[in-house]
Structure 1
């Protein structure tokens, strides 16, 4: 990975590890309380899957306030499935994140959250991060490692251009996938019609 014009992540963002397990002893799957985002809730397309969220009771939320999320934060898995990450949307603001995640809070006047998500998910960067992880039964990252991660930071106008270009690519990918899904669903019906045509001849 090239190091030209790179800045350590820690000078662009605040990196904070999730709460200790003891602060999350009362997690439950009921409808009441504040949601807590964990690694299984981070999707391959860098979003938060809200279908299986666990929650912390309202009366335990106050002691977790320093682990609350804001729109534009980025969550990175720090134990287990390293490299998985997600961008926090407005709908997730004030939620919490689990002990197996790291929260990255970008300085928006220097780096766009959307650009940083794309940078951190770029395969050479992913390989670099995994190469820096602590080996063991469960590989892990920590705040110090992410703080030292070199980040290529172009001017904000170029970051905007990169984000817009990638958004266009993502839109095209979604359209192609939808078309492929429709064709896959139609395939049995087409086969059935072709078989019936053969039987009639």
Structure 2
């Protein structure tokens, strides 16, 4: 078992575009889906084809394009809302209310997402969040979250 910070054990934690990076004028229907916290339902990503982005917005925001096995997790509102990006969702855009975690090649994303959705980790995320009106999590807090993960060299394994 390995114990350490999420950013060390799992991978890079990045914040989705915020502020003036993504504009309402970038939204179109039926193009590239945007993954916001509302699109994460019961551990799955459900697109809203009324809130997608056009090609120029996608090119401008290319550093926020999701890859298969990335983990998206809401950074505001309901803590612990997360999902693994499936192969067919690769190329979608991380939305403003999410972080995405780009895992190391030896990390099983589904296991990490399961841990982050567990009641004990949701409680940790809630305790670490700030905001009087709506819970809000920082990149640093998520990256520093302590996790215990099975070692790659363990005698048992979890398939992807």
| Candidates 105, 127, 131, aligned match of 2:127 | 131
CA distance in 2, matches of 1:144, 1:5: 20
**1:138 counterpart SS class:** coil
Cα distance change on mapping 1:104 and 1:120 into 2, 3 Å: same
Shift of residue 23, structure 1, vs aligned partner? 2.1
| Higher share of residues assigned helix | 1
Mark the structure with the bigger radius of gyration.
Answer: 1
**2:14 counterpart SS class:** strand
Cα distance change on mapping 1:53 and 1:81 into 2, 3 Å: farther
Name the residue aligned to 2:61. Answer: 64
Q: How does 1:1-201 map to 2 (within 5 A)?
A: 5-12=2-9, 13-25=11-23, 26-31=25-30, 33-44=31-42, 46-52=43-49, 54-109=51-106, 111-156=107-152, 158-160=156-158
Aligned residues: 156
TM-score by length of 2: 0.88
Shift of residue 48, structure 1, vs aligned partner? 0.7
CA distance in 1, matches of 2:52, 2:21: 12
Contact 2:74/2:99 (<8 A) preserved? yes
More moved, 47-56 vs 91-100: 47-56
| Higher share of residues assigned strand | 2
TM-score by length of 1: 0.71
Contact 1:41/1:53 (<8 A) preserved? no
CA distance in 2, matches of 1:50, 1:135: 27
Give me the CA root mean square deviation: 1.9
User: Which 5+ residue runs of structure 1 have no aligned equivalent?
Assistant: 164-201
